[in-house]
Amino acid sequence: MCSAWESEIAVDIGILGTGRVAQALAPHWLLGGHRVCFGSRDPDTRRAALESSLIQGLGAEAAAGLSWRPVDRCVEGSEIVVVAVPWDAALASLEQLRDGRRRIVIDCINPLRPDLKGKVIDDATSTLRVLQDHFTASDFVKAFNSASSAVMADSHFDQVPSMPICGDNEVARQRVAELVAAAGFEPIDCGDSLAATWLEAVTLLTIRMAIQNRWKGDCAVKWERRESR
Ligand SMILES: NC(=O)c1ccc[n+]([C@@H]2O[C@H](COP(=O)([O-])OP(=O)(O)OC[C@H]3O[C@@H](n4cnc5c(N)ncnc54)[C@H](OP(=O)(O)O)[C@@H]3O)[C@@H](O)[C@H]2O)c1
């Protein structure tokens, strides 16, 4: 275990991809005092297109924490890496993890078929398990896959929505739980990576409900508890 992960000091977070999920999550963590780097295939162009709207309302100090780099350099400089790219780009995007430095990697990927009738990977496994089998030096945590990017950007509902997370390293799960809370969700620890398969299934169900009931992205999962009777 890495002791640095046990503290609450600001960390360098690398978000791979500059799309909907990346843009939704970055402001929360910048406001929380973290340094956030976007890892992009074309960082200069993405910066020119996105930076002014992203830092609007953040304040100068938080905005100064944002940087833009090529994907490999973003991974290189980050303690925590968020894979916010399509599933078919994930393995290539994480190649820099082979430098052997231990990092926490957040997998928010939903490997969905285009017709949304299932996954493009075997139902019995998960992207988390596939990724961690490839990059064994890092600690992978599944998180943020069960909410829409619209809800990641603004998680306000009558109650704080739930965000289940799982992964094999307990300390890594705790660190990711802090980032989940900073993004406006109630983190729920689901234990080891076996649960990732089921978290991907929860998303399929949520998307089906949203389509069936015309909720668009404006829905989230809330697990409620009460005292045992
Ligand atoms: N959208 C949602 O509501 C949502 C919710 C939960 C989870 N997710 C998951 O989060 C991940 C990102 O979703 P998103 O909606 O943010 O996707 P998106 O808007 O399409 O953005 C994906 C980003 O990934 C980068 N990228 C790298 N390789 C790529 C490739 N071969 N093709 C396309 N983009 C590539 C691009 O950034 P550069 O061009 O800068 O490299 C792009 O902006 C996905 O795995 C998805 O399953 C999405």
Q: Which of 16, 18, 21 to mutate to test the pocket of ligand 1 (most atoms within 8 A of CB)?
A: 21
Q: Does pLDDT of 180 surpass 80? A: yes
As a whole number of angstroms, the distance between CA 82 and CA 92 comes to 14
> Residue 11 — pLDDT band, cuts 50, 70, 90?
confident
Identify the residue whose C-alpha is closest to ligand 1 atom 29.
Answer: 89
Substitution site in 15, 16, 20 for ligand 1 pocket (most atoms within 8 Å of beta carbon): 20
Instruction: State mean pLDDT over 126-137.
Output: 98
Non-local (6+) Cβ contacts of 79 within 8 A are 4, 5, 11, 12, 13, 103, 104
Residue 229 has a pLDDT of 86
Q: Quick one: pLDDT at residue 2?
A: 36
Domain annotation for the chain: domains and CATH numbers = 10-212 (3.40.50.720)
Residue owning the nearest CA to atom 19 of ligand 1:
19
Encode pLDDT of 82-101 as tens digits: 999 999 999 999 999 999 99
Counting residues of the chain whose pLDDT is more than 70, the rounded percentage is 96
How many A from CA of 88 to the centre of ligand 1?
10
Looking at ligand 1, which atom is closest to the CA of residue 112?
Answer: 47
152-166 pLDDT, tens digit per residue, is 999 999 999 999 999
Q: Which residue has the higher pLDDT, 6 or 65?
A: 65
* pLDDT tens for each residue of 104-131: 999 999 999 999 999 999 999 999 999 9
Q: Ligand 1 centre from 89 Cα, in Å?
A: 9
Q: State the average pLDDT for the chain.
A: 94
Neighbours of 198 (CB within 10 A): 14
Mean pLDDT within 207-223: 94
Look-up of token digits 């990092």: 103
Around Cβ 165, how many Cβ atoms within 10 Å?
27
Rounded Cα distance, 18 and 81, in Å: 13
Give the pLDDT band (50/70/90) at residue 4.
very low
Ligand 1 centre to CA of 21 (Å) is 7
